[in-house]
Chain A
Amino acid sequence: MAKVTYITHDNQNHSIEVQNGLTVMEGAVQNDIPGIDADCGGGMACATCHVYVNEEWFDKLPAKEDGEEDMLDMAFEPKKNSRLSCQIIVSDDLDGLTVNIPSKQG
């Protein structure tokens, strides 16, 4: 279990306890956090679950797998700290993770 804080574009904080094994994307979708579309349902095929990971957390996350960076090319306003939230799997180590949701997904 990890507490994940989702900050939406209008600066609303949503702190959610997300079960281990779920992705950060699933934590958002299951709790109706606005701004994560996740059109493809977690297949790393659409770039509509794009988030910005808080600097201090970005380096602690497991590295991107092949294909994630390719998908991020298509994301709306990608930055250095961009990730696809469907590729971040929640574990106890991620307790306190904070992600910012972009203004749009495309």
Chain B
Amino acid sequence: MIKTDALIIGAGPTGLFTAHQLKLIGLNCEIVDNLDKIGGQCIELYPDKPIYDIPAVPECTGGELTNNLINQIKPFNIKFHLSERVDEVKKEGDDWIVKTNNGTTFQTPNVIIAGGVGSFEPRKFPIKECEKFENKSVLYSIKDKSIFVGKTVTIFGGGDSALDWAVELSKNSKVNLIHRRDDFRGAQSTVDKVHELSKDGKINLFTKYQISAIKGDNHLESVEIKNDDKETKTLKTDYALGFFGLIMQLGPIANWGLNIDKKTIQVDTEKFETNQKGIYAVGDICSYPGKLKLILSGFHEGALAARACFKLARPNEKYRFEFTTSSKTIKGRLGIKGD
């Protein structure tokens, strides 16, 4: 069991800056995120797209913003728990007991939800029967590529993941690649490679087709694909892989007894506390009158939630407001020597 003054759920810009604010006022914290990397929507949805409304930063990409925030909290050595999703939040005495899907458990008086629109999960095939084979022969990510050796693999998608895996798996497997249109959005060099392999018969390419059915009893036998003119083809296959990017799902947060409306959590605007004492929500996931879904709003919300955490984490101490420009204590926490 990890004891901490505050646990932050979500490693997007709001979660990162909230961590900065907590550490600055002398509280410790750890961060959990379901993605395998730091940055949240900024890194997953628009790493290379420019943002123009971060105060004092005329222009930066989602990736640059994330890197700057990581640099800003570097002095604090904050522990991240990536690729872990918080599944359970339960009250025990004055504390919250928080459990992740990996079995990590935290005990903390303060839980700050900076979860954006929820956790990122892979988008799945639209065919219901696919669930039956999920994690066996219908996959949305690859952990061990050796299982495909000598097998037939049918890959769906037109982005880098689909194309990279089609190229890689074509070395040792029979590969079908299916995409809904002729254009691919992956890197041009990979697209060229796929066309080359298709010409050589190493990849069977079907464009303007989408999945329409899946067949098999105990194990997957074939997938049926259909084009816009309703022509269908049946492809024998051992595996079906879908690479349609990620989608945000509110997930387990819905079960924590919070006031939720339209996928957002209601909070007050003094502490950004939810209807549960010691659980706060900041950033895109919180709602209050006048809420703006901007990164800069998340920074403000995190700063106030961090101050609210102080009271529950240090019930016998008085919080004293200080400026970073003049406080020796704060400079000490930042590791800055001298005046």
Interface residues of chain A, those whose CB is within 8 Å of chain B, are 37, 39-41, 43, 45-48, 69-70, 73-74, 76-80, 104-106
Contact assessment for B228 and A80 in the assembled complex, using a CB-CB cutoff below 8 Å: yes
Report how many residues on chain B are interfacial, defined by Cβ distance under 8 Å: 25
Instruction: Choose among B117, B126, B185, B210 the residue that contacts A70 (Cβ–Cβ < 8 A).
Output: B185
* A contact face: mostly helix, strand, loop, or mixed: loop
Q: How far is the CA of A32 from the CA of B150 in the complex (A)?
A: 51
Whether A74 touches B45, Cβ cut-off 8 Å, given contacts A41-B293, A69-B181, A80-B228, is: no
Residue picked from A39, A45, A69, most chain B C-beta under 10 Å = A39
Contact assessment for A45 and B46 in the assembled complex, using a CB-CB cutoff below 8 Å: yes
> Which segment, of B89-97, B216-224, B241-249, faces chain A?
B241-249
CB distance from B132 to the nearest CB of A (A): 18
CB neighbours (8 Å) of B180 from chain A are: 73, 78
CB distance from B38 to the nearest CB of A (A): 18
CB distance from B276 to the nearest CB of A (A): 24
Q: Does B63 contact A (CB under 8 A)?
A: no
Q: Does B199 contact A (CB under 8 A)?
A: no
Contact assessment for A46 and B247 in the assembled complex, using a CB-CB cutoff below 8 Å: yes
Q: How far is the CA of A78 from the CA of B126 in the complex (A)?
A: 10
Whether A106 touches B123, Cβ cut-off 8 Å, given contacts A41-B293, A46-B247, A69-B183, is: yes
Instruction: Choose among A48, A69, A73, A104 the residue that contacts B157 (Cβ–Cβ < 8 A).
Output: A73
CB distance from B209 to the nearest CB of A (A): 12
Output the nearest chain A residue to B228 by Cβ-Cβ distance: A80
Contact assessment for A77 and B46 in the assembled complex, using a CB-CB cutoff below 8 Å: no
Q: Does B109 contact A (CB under 8 A)?
A: no
